[in-house]
Amino acid sequence: MLISSYNLKNVGDTLMVVLREDVEQQGSELKNNVVRIFDKKSNATLGFNFLKISEALPNLIGNGQVFLTEDQVERLNELIASAGFDDKLVLDEDPKFVVGYVAESTEHPDSDHLHVTKIQVNNNEMLDIVCGAPNIEQGQLVVVAKVGAMMPTGAIIWPGKLRGIESYGMVSSAQELGIPNAPTAHGILVLDDKTNHVGDAFDFEKAAKLFA
């Protein structure tokens, strides 16, 4: 997992890289403008903050999540090594917002509004996702934020449990995806099957025209 974000205006010239979910007891150590964030109990690396990153990656642009290139990841690994840390970043090219097909949708056994779904995404992967949207139905094409996706709010999607049922992703509404002029009514974004295909990376630019 490699989740990166950059926001020069609000955060400063710092690239934040998340590798694992947050834990309660975190530590950090700074060396050569590289901050390693780690789990105090296991010493596992949770992520890195790269300070003054424009000096190393002068072409980096972003206002939230950024998707690094192979060359950029290689440069970050050089910074990590020169700071004396042993970790090595691995490029993650798997799209995190994808078109999914609702193969199954049943009522949650311990809830009057949640649904337990099986959703096919890219690479023929089938995800178990608990969804609270009232309009979800079997047979739909939907937008799935997979584990590792960063929402426009900055929240990261991790595996979790809802009322005792494991869930590996989130079926998203237009508003949750940050689509301009999205309706405020509670409900997921349902895609047409003429211009969308299971496993495709979700096209945010195309989606922006839906409510224009």
What pLDDT does residue 10 have? 84
- CB-count exposure of residue 95 (10 Å: 0-12, 13-18, 19+): middle
Cα separation, 82 vs 211, in Å, equals 48
- Mean pLDDT taken over the chain: 92
Q: What percent of the chain has pLDDT over 90?
A: 68
Torsion of CA 180, 167, 185, 196, to 10 degrees: 50
Residue 15, CB-side half-sphere exposure with 13 Å CA sphere: 27
What's the pTM? 0.86
Largest Cα–Cα distance of the chain, in whole Å? 55
Q: What is the pLDDT of residue 34?
A: 97
Q: What is the residue whose two structure tokens read 């690994």?
A: 77
Residue 139: what pLDDT? 95
